[in-house]
Every structure is written in C-alpha cells, then in structure tokens.
Amino acid sequence: MPRKHPWFPGYTVAGVATVGLIASAPGQTFIISQLNPILRETFDIPELTLNTAYTIATVAAAFPLVLVGAMTDRLGPRRMLIITALTFGGACALTSVVSNLLSVFCAFFLLRFLGQGALSLVSQHAVAMWFHRRLGSIHGIKQVVVFGLWILFPQLAVFLISQFGWRETYLIFGALVILFVVPLAVFFMRDRPEQLGLRMDNDAHEHADTATPDPSGAGPIPDEYTPSREVAFTLREAMRTPAYWILCSVIFLSPLIGTAMLFDLVPILGRRGMTPVDAALATSAWTAAMALAALPSGIATDRFRAGILTSLGMGVIALSALTLAAADSTLLAVLALVLFGVGQSIVAASASAALARYFGRAHHGAIRSSATRIGVIGTGLGPIFTGLSVHFTGGYSAAMIAFVFMCLPLVILCLRLHAPARS
C-alpha cells in the first residue's frame, strides 16, 4: 500500500460538498428575502405576519435536523446528499405553487429544513470525515468558492424574477439543484477515507497517529496518541461540556443577526431613501466579504485557538449591527454588510472546525446536526426582532442596538473556550 494516495479523494469530496453548499442558496435567507415584498403584495400579508410565519417555519424546521444527523451517521454522507438534494429540489418546485399564507408557511418550512438545514449539514459533515489538521484551510477554500459564486445570486434571482416571474424562478432553482448535485454525489462522493485504505488529510500510514485532535483544537498531537484512542464524544457527553454550549451560542447568535439584517434589508434601506438595487448591492457586498475573508479565516483556524477567533468574530458582528443602525447611505449599508460578512466568516470557520476537533468523528453527524438545529433556530428568530422593532418603535434601529448588546457577553465567554477533556 502506498504511503500516500497520488490524488487524495478527500479533495473530490470537498468539491462535491462545495457544490451542495452552493445549491442550498434557494433555501438561504438572502435569496428568500427577494420574495419578501412580492409575497406580501401578492397575498396581502402584513409585514409582522410574514416575519412571524418565517420565524415559526424556520424554528420548526430546526428540530428534524437531529434526525438528519443521525441518518447521516448511519447511511453516510453520500446517500444522504443524494436524498437531500432530491427532496430540496422538490421543495423548490412546491414553492412555485403556493397560494395563501398557509402554503407560504409550508414552503418556508421545506426550504429552510431541506436547503439551509439538511443540505448544508450533510455537505459540511462530508468534509469533516476526510480532514482534521487542514480542516480550517479546506473550509476556507470551500467558502471562497461558495460565497464567490453567491455574489451573483441576488442579482440572478432579481433577473429571473423580472424575466420569468417568481414561481418559474423557483422551478428553475429546483431543477438546477437536482441536475448539479445528484450526479456528482452518485459518481464522486465517498463516505470516509478508511473505506479506501487511506487516512484523514492523506497522511502516510506510519505518521497517521498525529492526525487526531489536540487539546488546543488545531495541529498534531504527540506520537504516542493512537488512532484507536481518537476522541469520540457522544452527543450527550458533548452537551455536558462548556465548550459545546459556547460554540452553540455563537452558532445561534451569528445567523440570528444575519438573517434579521438580510430578510428585512429591502425595507430597512427603503425607510432611509434607498432602493432594492441598493439592497442587492449590499447583499452582494456581504457575499464578497465572506468570500474574501473565508480563506484567511480558515488558515487562521488551523493556527490559532478557536476561542480567540470566535471572540474576534463576534466583536466584528457587533460592530456591523451598530453600523447598520446608523446607516443613512448606500456606502454605510455596504460597510455594515461587509463587516458582518467578515465576522460571520471568522465565526463559521472557527466554530465549525472546533466541533469536529473537540468531539471527534464517531458521532459527528449527531453533534453537528444538534448545533445546526440551534443555528437554524437562530435564523428563524432573527426576523421576529426586526418585526417587533418596527411594530413598537416604527424602525429597525432598536433591533440593531439589541444585537450589539447580545454579542458583548459572547465576546468575553469565547476567550474561555477550550477543548474538553477527551472521552
């Protein structure tokens, strides 16, 4: 058996996972938000009612994700990626035939559960099965590609809606998801390197013992640590550690703030004299910032403690909310979304890698799905903050200021983040 495979299949798996993440866009808030004013006008739905429906649907969509994680541990990411891509494509098709508030709610549930939740979860899980030491860097490269392409998606959605209508646009999205993801998963996805007689990170066999997690959460560990003793927390054991709850807190709050900003970005800027074109520009600036910050964030994740990086990321997110609260021009709106993109990129890279490194691969699907569920609940609660802010104060600034104060305790708590004692 060779010391190393000439082409490590983990890179192919990462490529397929990247396509899966890109395909989750129709279930992400920055695309669904393009339907926000259209749905309100088409079905005469008040702003707070639509926001509440989105919140309830998203929170409800979070709970089945634990089952998706357990199924991924049992069936493997290859089969689960095929299943989630097929069902998510069907959800996009069903979105095109909604006719009232109830069906809009059901569409929100399916898009958030299968797209933003399940498809993203399985794609990220697949990569964690193949990389440890370079997980941060691989995550960074993956995010560069995802958000680099997502820069074009808001304008693409606006163009398709203007040319074909919003119903036809989601039919097109559903067909593209199935067309691109399913064949790639069938022919190129593999579950784990051990199935091919390989090791994580394509390490040579005689050096593979150094590929397991260390207490700092990054880098190799002493040679005497053997693969048979690779850290293997169950979900229940992970939930007993402070590290799990600190990581879940940042995974919860970051998308909560981001969803609130993006879902209501058109009305937020509209109240300050800006247009939907300005909102699309700011959204593209967010995706561009995510793309540019992804690789440096990933590399930093392989070199520095997760606690330092998550603390920094939450601080930048707080600054972004403060900037959007004061934004009275397109330039400040773009700056706010750029800051959020940088902060979110740092948090996503460090927290995602820490979950795999701190708790191991044996029950990674269950643990990641549990954290993903918490994050999806956060995305669902975000629009409630902005909806209540408008209802009681007549504007969105109160919600942005609340987000700043919610970030500050986590900036401090993250500094105490460290790997738990090995199971």
Q: Per-residue confidence of the chain (423 residues) as pLDDT tens digits?
A: 444 556 789 999 999 999 999 999 999 988 888 888 889 889 998 877 888 898 899 889 988 988 998 899 889 999 999 999 999 999 999 999 999 999 999 999 999 999 988 999 899 889 988 988 888 888 888 888 988 888 888 888 888 998 999 999 999 999 999 999 999 999 999 888 888 888 888 776 544 444 444 433 444 333 333 344 567 888 899 999 999 999 999 999 999 999 899 888 888 898 888 887 888 888 888 888 988 898 899 889 888 999 999 999 999 999 999 999 999 899 999 999 999 999 999 998 899 889 888 998 878 888 888 888 898 888 878 888 988 898 889 889 999 999 999 999 999 999 989 888 764
Reported as half-sphere exposure (CB side, CA atoms, 13 A), residue 326 has a value of 8
The pLDDT, as a whole number, for residue 160 is: 92
Cβ pair 132, 220 in contact under 8 A: no
pTM recorded for the entire structure: 0.73
The pLDDT, as a whole number, for residue 324 is: 94
The pLDDT, as a whole number, for residue 90 is: 96
The pLDDT, as a whole number, for residue 422 is: 62
Backbone φ and ψ of 28, nearest 5°: -90, 155
CA-to-CA separations, 178 to 24, 69, 132, 155, 184, in angstroms, rounded: 11, 21, 30, 22, 10
Q: Any residues with CB less than 8 A from the CB of 338 and at least 6 apart, and which?
A: 285, 286, 288, 289, 320
Buried b (16+ CB within 10 A) or exposed e, 398-414: bbbebbbebbeebbebb
At residue 208's C-alpha, the angle toward residues 204 and 212, to 5°, is: 145
The pLDDT, as a whole number, for residue 213 is: 41
Cβ pair 365, 241 in contact under 8 A: no
At residue 391's C-alpha, the angle toward residues 388 and 393, to 5°, is: 95
The pLDDT, as a whole number, for residue 5 is: 55
The pLDDT, as a whole number, for residue 214 is: 40
Using alpha carbons, select from 308, 359, 297 the residue that is nearest to residue 125. Answer: 359
The pLDDT, as a whole number, for residue 334 is: 94
The pLDDT, as a whole number, for residue 229 is: 58
Buried b (16+ CB within 10 A) or exposed e, 329-363: ebebbbbbbbbbbbbbbbbbbbbbbbbbbbbbbeb
CA-to-CA separations, 123 to 285, 286, 301, in angstroms, rounded: 24, 22, 19
The pLDDT, as a whole number, for residue 275 is: 83
Q: Which residue has the tokens 């199971």?
A: 423
Total H helices, total E strands in the chain: 19, 0
At 113, the amino acid letter reads F
Q: Name the DSSP letter for residue 114.
A: I
The pLDDT, as a whole number, for residue 390 is: 87
How many of the other CB atoms lie within 10 Å of CB of 59? 19
In angstroms, rounded to a whole number, what is the distance separating the alpha carbons of residues 107 and 38? Answer: 15
In angstroms, rounded to a whole number, what is the distance separating the alpha carbons of residues 396 and 268? Answer: 7
In angstroms, rounded to a whole number, what is the distance separating the alpha carbons of residues 233 and 359? Answer: 5
The pLDDT, as a whole number, for residue 379 is: 80
